[in-house]
Amino acid sequence: MYATRALRMMPTRRMMFPVPKEDQTAHTISQRLRKLRQIPAELIPLGVVVTFAVCAAAYSSFRKFAVDKNLRLSRQNRKEEPATHGEGH
């Protein structure tokens, strides 16, 4: 019997050689700041807008939970729970 071609696993040409290391891997803060220069200039305003939107959403959500007195964050006014919860289902 011959082995099927699907089970004959050989590394591809790309996988035979190790991945070349970058000349500067980001280890320190100054090296990370130098890496920021590689970001295209068109993406910086987009990053600022997205960061502002996420911060505004987090602030408004937290403020809603903290200030709104009509919002129920836990169960209230319950009679005593039955001992077995899943009997009626």
Phi and psi, residue 87, nearest 5°? -70, -40
For residues 33 and 39, is the Cβ–Cβ distance under 8 A?
A: no
Q: Which residue has the tokens 């290391």?
A: 21
Mind listing the pLDDT tens digit for each residue in 51-62?
999 999 999 999
Cα–Cα distance, 72 to 25 (Å, whole number) = 49
Mind listing the pLDDT tens digit for each residue in 1-51?
565 666 666 667 766 776 666 655 546 888 777 877 888 889 989 999 999
Q: Choose between 66 and 55: higher pLDDT.
A: 55
CB atoms within 10 A of CB 26: 13
pTM: 0.46
